[in-house]
Structure 1
């Protein structure tokens, strides 16, 4: 599900010198008052790989510690996210979603529905290194029911990655889904979980076409009609990501600027996490879906926050 790096908005800086950036960052942090403009210009003008070289060259106290000591709130979270390796950043987001009172299922749903096998494997490795426990072990203790079953399959990162499409199999899967949902009294959730979590993305795209032809409804409409709660949200997210990960994340961004509560963390996670992957595609989908630019929407959101 990952896109080409060419679709990101942040590129490697030509003529990059980590030592020069370290001097600029230290000056911005250690002076009287922190020079936020310098922090933003340096950290958003380098690729994540280059930021890791800056962290390595920073020495003495770590750059993360200094950023935490001199900035605060959502700005601190954003800067720390920028200097964190992608897999470790995802790991921290999963930890934050499952620790403390209550579990933030929406965060887990977004991450595991939208990541590729490779990204999930890297996330799982980072989680083990960070906590000394397997990620699936901790997830099992925090989620339950069919939602847990679905999430844990995704967390294994073993989705079929074949690019071949078997039209006959797509028809058979569409029929199986129809008979497990719309056609029967009650719903066989296990059939939906099995097919949506294991088939390749190209294969599932064909299955969506076959399902619509068979039932006169989209699979998303059937899931929304037949299911509820966290399982519905996760299966719908999978279907949306099968169709287009950038469109799914554009919708998440839009809702985060219109909602209340922990919306800034969603903005940070998606804007930083996708900045070198497919942010150009997310921007295009955002404009197509909502008729306004992502830039202007975030600016209005930020201006409103400043007025509160």
Structure 2
């Protein structure tokens, strides 16, 4: 097998430490490919969550404690937070079953009846199975006047084939229609084509890298974009939405060696709007899902007002996958701790729940 080509940038001694990085240097964070081929691929192997199975878990005890916290005079929020942020998703499903068996009522219904606002939203998200939660967020993004393209991009660009299949199954069960069918009526053009391709969940999952194919793909992308008058969007969609993550990483390196620019830079200069956004998101997730999520978390909390829907969705959906890595990337990219920013940007029981999911202060 041909030796895989490393990026010829002379940056082999790139600093791996958690050094503060100013926001103005964000582009360089995405432009540096020197460690790309050696870094773990969390799109395929996410294993570093902050929430894990609780040892000595007893669903009946937890269900009884939650019932007491909800039914007492005034809700004991601390009990709800402590239990629901310190049990894995699978354990929370067992608690839901035990709660229903004991009370005849659904835990989701009781949480919705007893809590309010963003606190209610995050507790309900925690007791919803991951695929169901993804499906609900996708459905919400397509409902009503206008589509929330950013939510569709965030979910479909960052999930594995397995996760996309699970959310698609949940979608058809809930609506009676295929997710791809509904997407076709919501999003059009090349952007729609890219999203629907991602929603099919047919990305190659091979771990083997074909160096010659990576070189050919890099050349095809270069000729479809930078070198062409007008852009061949189909070529970008075909390669970026179907190749495996290891294969695409090699292609990103080959592309920079060929063109002197990163593929992300080329997409940003050749395309615009939602198509640019979805293809850049795919490239970022190929590089590092945790860095992509860290960037979105920062965006959800900076500026006037907090985007609680995005904050809740990312904190809950990544809690058992790669939240440890997201915290490390956040610190590296912004020179701040995610925990501290949550403390300063949110409040009350919602804040306490987010901090319970985030885990310790450090990265």
Matched, 1:49 2:90: yes
Q: Work out whether residues 287 and 293 of structure 1, in 8 Å CA contact, stay in contact via their aligned partners in 2.
A: yes
- The corresponding residue for 1:29 is 70
Distance 1:97 1:2 in 2: 25
The alpha-carbon deviation at position 20 of structure 1 amounts to: 0.8
Q: Could you report, residue by residue, the CA deviation over 1:251-294 in whole angstroms, capped at 9, with x for unpaired residues?
A: 00010011456711111111111111111111111111111111
- The corresponding residue for 1:67 is 111
Distance 2:282 2:74 in 1: 45
- The corresponding residue for 2:204 is 160
Q: Work out whether residues 306 and 345 of structure 2, in 8 Å CA contact, stay in contact via their aligned partners in 1.
A: no
- The corresponding residue for 1:278 is 322
Structure 1 segments (4+ residues) deviating >4 Å: 259-262, 303-306
Matched, 1:13 2:54: yes
Q: Work out whether residues 10 and 47 of structure 1, in 8 Å CA contact, stay in contact via their aligned partners in 2.
A: yes
Task: List alignment gaps of at least 5 residues for structure 1.
Answer: none
- The corresponding residue for 2:127 is 83
TM-score normalised by length of structure 2:
0.82
- The corresponding residue for 1:300 is 344
The alpha-carbon deviation at position 2 of structure 1 amounts to: 3.8
Distance 1:66 1:117 in 2: 34
Q: Could you report, residue by residue, the CA deviation over 1:116-155 in whole angstroms, capped at 9, with x for unpaired residues?
A: 0000000100111111111111111111110000000110
- The corresponding residue for 2:161 is 117
Aligned equivalent of 2:252, options 208, 221, 229 = 208
Task: Say how many residue pairs are matched.
Answer: 305
Aligned equivalent of 1:3, options 45, 57, 68 = 45
Q: Could you report, residue by residue, the CA deviation over 1:176-229 in whole angstroms, capped at 9, with x for unpaired residues?
A: 111111111111111111110111110100111111111111100000000000
Partner SS for 1:141? helix
Q: Work out whether residues 3 and 278 of structure 1, in 8 Å CA contact, stay in contact via their aligned partners in 2.
A: no
Distance 1:81 1:41 in 2: 15
Partner SS for 1:211? helix
Structure with the largest fraction of helix? 1
